[in-house]
Amino acid sequence: MNIATQVHLEASRPSGADWLGNLPSTWAVKKMKYLFRDHSQKGKQDAELLSVTQNQGVVPRSWVENRMVMPSGNLESFKFIEKGDFAISLRSFEGGLEYCHHDGIISPAYTVLKTWHPELKPGFYRHLFKSGVFISELQTSIVGIREGKNISFAELSHSLMPIPPVSEQRAIAAFLDEKCAKVDEAVRIKEEQIALLRERRQILIQQAVTRGLNPDAPMKDSGIDWIGQIPAHWEVVRFKYLFMQSRLPVRKDDGVVTSYRDGQVTLRANRRMDGYTEAILEGGYQGIRVGQLVLNSMDAFEGAIGVSDSDGKCTPEYVICDPVDDKINQYYFAYLLREMALADYIEVICNAVRQRAVRIRFNNLATRFMVLPPPAEQTEIVAFVEREKSRIADAVVIKQDQIAALREYKTSLINAAVTGKIKVA
């Protein structure tokens, strides 16, 4: 059922705020400045340093997987915050206000809000301040532009806030705590299932390109560290006897082709144009054609290896290869080289002073041994991999749609409960 369509059975009245709509007649409405105050009090240097997060609220740094950088110097300017307070974060206009779970100190960049109305229960407002309807109201209190956008409490303090009776605040908080926990657990399980599907896909590809499709085939040692055993009838050949480096000219009106980490090599315009810097002078580009094997020299170690589906031009940093004859299936070798990258072997064979400075060149690959199945098997392996990828991708989409539906249900449920559109007690 769409939660937003359920109607509160008790008498209702206009709230005076568009984002709240009608509220139960037993609920009060006051400006936020009469409910919360800016409590930006300097903390003690020996207080626990907390992280302000959109997913967990204000929590100890140890709770946060990707921890913020530990600040250097004294912490005298940091603000004290107590359990039950709220923080206006740098990105509150995207995700609402953050509830504090522990006493401690936070960066002076945040605003600390403390309740000063005797009938406010933080549990209710914890859900209200993360609701979609409240976040829409936050948009009216933004100051600054672009990356400098922030929430002004001076502006927000004039927004109208609902005040349900204390018993209803407690009931709504308990109701949403329970329902949201169940939805979050269902989402967690489905995300875990997606991770397992993707792991299964990778295992299937790795086994197919290095072991073949016949589990009963006699095996032999390949002599290649990252591969190990291979079917006895497969050959082991140096890369330079399989591929030659391509050096094609750029043609007029060629679009830019990009090699992505997911293995797709396509015109940039087919994926997205934002986030790229267009060169004023196009010196150094090389031509690229449909069907060529492409390694993104800077990101190959992250899997940016594939076969181009487009004609165009690309950076000279790409290594573009053509098979030496029609017995070499470039699609098979794209999968094999991606497995080589994911096994960290490409990073091993490329000298670099630091990560992200890795550059793979044709010469790095030329003398490396590759496994070579018979041509018919190469084709069969590619067809098998494409089928399995498609099958698993379909399963992942189903799980992602289910997650989206759960999150939409959770959003509707919270919006309806905190604005009195459904009765929970």
Between helix 330-342 and helix 166-211 the angle, nearest 10°, is 120
Same fold, 10-163 and 214-372: yes
* Residue 139 pLDDT: 87
> How many angstroms separate the CA atoms of 366 and 401, rounded?
44
Helix (H) or strand (E) run with residue 98 in it: strand 98-99
- By C-alpha distance, which of 292, 198, 305 is closest to 261? 305
What is residue 139's DSSP assignment?
G
> How many angstroms separate the CA atoms of 319 and 358, rounded?
14
Class of domain 214-372: alpha beta
**Are 296 and 305 a contacting pair, CB within 8 Å?**
yes
* Residue 10 pLDDT: 56
Kindly give, in sequence order, each residue whose CB lies less than 8 Å from that of residue 279, ignoring residues fewer than 6 positions away.
none
* Residue 223 pLDDT: 94
**Are 319 and 245 a contacting pair, CB within 8 Å?**
yes
* Residue 41 pLDDT: 78
> How many angstroms separate the CA atoms of 142 and 90, rounded?
11
**Are 168 and 127 a contacting pair, CB within 8 Å?**
no
**Are 256 and 314 a contacting pair, CB within 8 Å?**
yes
Q: Which backbone phi and psi does 160 adopt, to 5 degrees?
A: -80, 140
For residue 279, the tally of other CB atoms under 10 A from its CB is 11
For residue 293, the tally of other CB atoms under 10 A from its CB is 25
Domain 10-163 has CATH 3.90.220.20: yes
CA distances in angstroms from 192 to 195, 233, 396, 399, 407, listed in the order given: 5, 39, 11, 10, 16
Domain borders along the chain are 10-163, 214-372
- The angle subtended at Cα 184 by Cα 181 and Cα 190, nearest 5°, is 145
> How many angstroms separate the CA atoms of 195 and 49, rounded?
33
**pTM of the entire predicted model:** 0.83
- The angle subtended at Cα 384 by Cα 383 and Cα 387, nearest 5°, is 85
Q: Which backbone phi and psi does 344 adopt, to 5 degrees?
A: 70, 15
As averages over each run of 10 residues, the pLDDT of the chain (425 residues) reads 46 91 95 91 78 90 69 74 91 90 90 90 96 92 68 91 96 97 98 97 96 96 93 97 95 93 93 54 81 92 93 94 96 95 81 59 92 98 97 98 98 96 85
* Residue 72 pLDDT: 56
Residue with tokens 């990258």: 341
